[in-house]
Structure 1
Amino acid sequence: MYAERVLSGMRPTGRLHIGHYHGALKNWVRLQNEMPCLFFVADWHALTTAYDGVEIIEQSVWEMVIDWLAAGVDPNQSTIFIQSRVPEHAELHLLLSMMCPLGWLERVPTYKDQQEKLSEKDLATYGFLGYPLLQSADILLYRASHVPVGEDQVPHIELTREIARRFNHLYGREPGFEDKAKEAVKKLGGKRGKLYEQLRTRFQQEGDKEALEQGKALLDESQSLSMGDRERLFGYLEGSGKVILAEPEAKLTEASRVVGLDGQKMSKSYNNTIFMREDPEVLTKKIRTMPTDPARVRRTDAGDPARCPVWQFHVVYSDDATREWVDKGCRTAGIGCLECKQPIIDAVIKEQEPFHERAQQYLDDPALVRSVLADGCERARKLAQETMRDVRDAMGLSYS
C-alpha cells in the first residue's frame, strides 16, 4: 500500500492562541518526528464561510504560518503549503463531485450545525454544501494514511473513506484488470505467487481476514513489483480493483483543555484569548484581571477551585505540588487570587519564550516565510500531480 503520511490543515484565522497550540500544534510537532507530515493553510475552506470578507485572508495566512513555525513545526521535517497554490485540490474536488451522492454531503453533522451557529450568514451555497468533499479531496490527493482530528471531525474522515471506496469501486477496474493482475502474480515468482493465490482464495472464499493481512504483508515485502502492479495485486487480493485513492485513518487527538480567560471556550470571537506570542506585560495583565470564584468577594473569603476559571489553567500548566498549594490555599483563604495567578503567569511566559525566539527571524525577514511556503507548495504539488495522473488514467481522462 501507500507509505504512511500525516495530513492536517487549518483555516487562516490570523494569530493563533494557546488553545490552538495545546489542541493541535503541540501534536503536529510530535507527529513530524514520527512520520512524514504535510500541514496546509486551508484558504479555500476559509471562503466557504468568509466569502464576503476576503480582504483579511492574506494577512491571516502569514500570521498563522509564523505561529506554526514558532510552535516548532519544522519546514525541514514537514511540508508546509497553501491549499490554493496547489490547483490539483480543485481538480480532484471537481472530479469527486461527479460521483459523490448528494445525500452523503447533506448528512454530515457539521453542515446543519454550522448553518445554525452562523445564522447571520447566507450559507445556502454550493461551496458550503461541498466543503466536506473538498476536505476529502485535500486528504485523498496526498494519499494520507493518518489525519489528526478531534471527535467532532471523525464523520468527515468516514465520508472520505466512503468516497475513496466508491471511487476505487467505480474506476479501479481498468480495462483488462484481471489479465494484468495475473501477469503481476507471475512477477512474484513461483513460490510467492502460489502463496499469494492461496491467501487470495482463503480470503475471498472463506472471509479469512488473517489471510488478507498475510497477503498484504507479502506484497509489501515484494521488491520486484512496480507501484502499478502492487496496487493491482492489492485490489485483486481483496476482490475489488486497483487501489487508486487510499482510505485514511482518523488519528484522534485530545481536545485542548485550555479554557478562555472567562472560563468559556477560548475564542477570538469571545475576546477571551491569550495569543501564542503575547507580549509578557499584556499576558500578565490578562491573567491578573481574570475573573475568579465569585464567592471570594474579599481576600479573607474561602473559595472553591472548581468554580474558578484560573484553576483550569493550573490543570494544564502547574505540577501536582502547585495544584495542591492552590487547592488548599483557596479553600482556606490562605492565599489571595493574585498569589494563585502568579504561577500561571510564570508558566505561560516560560512556555512562550521559545515561540518568540523562533518567530523573530521570520518577523525580521518576511521573505523567509514566503520561501518556506514556496518550497512546501512545490513539494506538495509533486505528490498531488502523481495522484492526479492516476486519477485521470482511471477515469479515462488522460487522452491528448
Structure 2
Amino acid sequence: MTTTAPPRMLTGDRPTGRLHLGHYVGSIANRRALQHSYQSYFIIADLHMLTTKNTREDIARSAGNARDMVLDSLAAGLEPDLAVFYLQSAIPEVMELNTLFQNLVTVPRLERVPSLKEMARDAGKEEMPYGLLGYPVLQAADILCVKAHAVPVGKDNAAHVEIAREIARRFNHLYGETFPVPELISAEVPSLVGTDGQAKMSKSIGNAIYLSDSPDEVRRKVRGMYTDPKRVRADVPGTVAGNPVFVYHDAFNPDTAEVDDLKERYRTGRVGDVEVKTKLADAINAFLDPMRERRARFEGEPGLVERLVVEGTERTREVVRQTVGEVRAAMGLDAVYAAFTAESRRPVSA
C-alpha cells in the first residue's frame, strides 16, 4: 500500500524584529489555516536580512529576533509538532541553487519588481545593492529547494513568488520536470496600513502593533493612531473609507454591529475619536489575549525554540540536499565532472 505525501508549504520572515498585526493578516492567518493540509516549512530568512541589514550588530541581533519570531508564530497558532522552522544561512545548498537560478532570469525582469525599490528606500539605500536586486532569485531558491506547492505571503511578496513560478517553469522546460510550480496563497486582507496612516505596517518604520505587545502598549498605540485630519471635533462628520482606525476595526473587531454603528455615527458627527479608539483597543486586545497566553506557555518550556530551530534546520537540509542532487543531475553538471574523473583513472599506455 502506497501513501501520497502531503503537499508542502513554504513561507517565513526576516529576523529583523518581532512580528506584528500586518504579518498576521498578510500571511500568518493563512499559515495557521493551512498547516494541517501541508507539510509546513517556515524559513528564518537571515540571508535575506543581509540585503538591508548587514552590520555585525545586525547579525548579532538576529538570533534574538529569530527566537522572538518563532515564539510569535507559535503564539499566533502554529503548532510545534507541525511547523518546521529552519535557519536559512545554515543550509549552504540553498546558495548553490541561488547561483544556478540566477541564469534563468534577466536583470530587466528583476528591475520590474516594485517592492525592491521600496525596500531599498525604506532601508535608506541610495543605490540598490546587487543582493537586493537578486532578492527574488534567492527567494525562489528558498521556495523550490523544498519543492513547495504553496506560498502564503503578503501583498508585497506576490511579485517575488511570480519570479519563483517563472524560474520553476523555465527550469522544467530546459532540463525536464523537476519542480512543482508554486501557488501564491493570497491573504484576505492584502496589507495593513501602519498606525501613522502613511505607509504599510513595518518594523523598520516603527508604525506597528506587535503580536507580543502588552494591553497597555496596544491602548497607547491605538490612542495615537492617525485618523481623519479634517475632523477637529466630535460633532464634525468624518471620513470612514481608508481611515486606519476603521480599517483595523474591520480586520480585528468581530462585532460587526458595533463597527457598523461606529461608522454611521462617525460619518454623521455623533461619536468622538476617543470612543472609536477605545473600542478598537478593546477589540485588538481581545484578539491578542489568546496569543499572549500561548506565548507565555511556550516561553515556559526552556530550550523549546532552540530545539525546534535545530531539528527543523537539520530536517530541511536533508530535503534540500536531495533537491540539489536532482537539480545537478537534471542539468548534467555531475556528468561533466564524472567524465573527467573516469578519464583521469584510465591507465596510461606505455
TM-score normalized by structure 2? Answer: 0.83
Q: Which residue of 1 aligns with 2:334?
A: 397
Distance 1:22 1:299, change over 3 A: same
SS in 1 for 2:32: helix
SS in 2 for 1:56: helix
* Residues 1:166 and 2:162 aligned together: no
Q: Which runs of 5+ in 2 are unaligned?
A: 342-350
Percent of aligned pairs sharing the same letter: 38
1:1-400 equivalence runs, <5 A: 4-52=7-55, 53-97=58-102, 99-103=103-107, 106-110=110-114, 113-114=117-118, 117-118=121-122, 120-121=124-125, 123-172=127-176, 243-256=177-190, 258-264=192-198, 265-306=200-241, 308-318=243-253, 319-365=255-301, 367-394=303-330, 395-397=332-334, 399=338
Question: How many Å apart are 1:371 and its aligned residue?
Answer: 0.7
- Tell me if the contact between 1:293 and 1:307 (Cα under 8 Å) persists in the aligned partners: no
SS in 2 for 1:397: helix
Distance 1:371 1:133, change over 3 A: same
After superposition, what is the alpha-carbon deviation per residue over 1:277-307, rounded to whole angstroms, capped at 9, x for unaligned? Answer: 1111121122233344334433444434347
Larger radius of gyration: 1
Question: How many Å apart are 1:70 and its aligned residue?
Answer: 0.9
Distance in 2, matches of 1:96 and 1:334, equals 59
Question: How many Å apart are 1:50 and its aligned residue?
Answer: 1.5
340-349 vs 121-130, greater mean Cα deviation: 121-130
- Tell me if the contact between 1:92 and 1:388 (Cα under 8 Å) persists in the aligned partners: yes
Q: 1 or 2, which has the higher helix percentage?
A: 1
| Pairwise CA RMSD | 2.8
Paired letter, 2:44: V
Distance 1:27 1:390, change over 3 A: same
Distance in 2, matches of 1:294 and 1:87, equals 51
Distance 1:294 1:36, change over 3 A: same
- Tell me if the contact between 1:6 and 1:37 (Cα under 8 Å) persists in the aligned partners: yes
SS in 2 for 1:79: strand
Question: How many Å apart are 1:142 and its aligned residue?
Answer: 0.9
Question: How many Å apart are 1:326 and its aligned residue?
Answer: 0.8
Distance in 2, matches of 1:81 and 1:116, equals 26
- Tell me if the contact between 2:44 and 2:87 (Cα under 8 Å) persists in the aligned partners: yes
TM-score normalized by structure 1? Answer: 0.73
- Tell me if the contact between 2:52 and 2:120 (Cα under 8 Å) persists in the aligned partners: no
- Tell me if the contact between 1:62 and 1:369 (Cα under 8 Å) persists in the aligned partners: yes
After superposition, what is the alpha-carbon deviation per residue over 1:115-148, rounded to whole angstroms, capped at 9, x for unaligned? Answer: 7625842655442332222111111111111222
- Tell me if the contact between 2:9 and 2:149 (Cα under 8 Å) persists in the aligned partners: yes
Q: Which runs of 5+ in 1 are unaligned?
A: 173-242
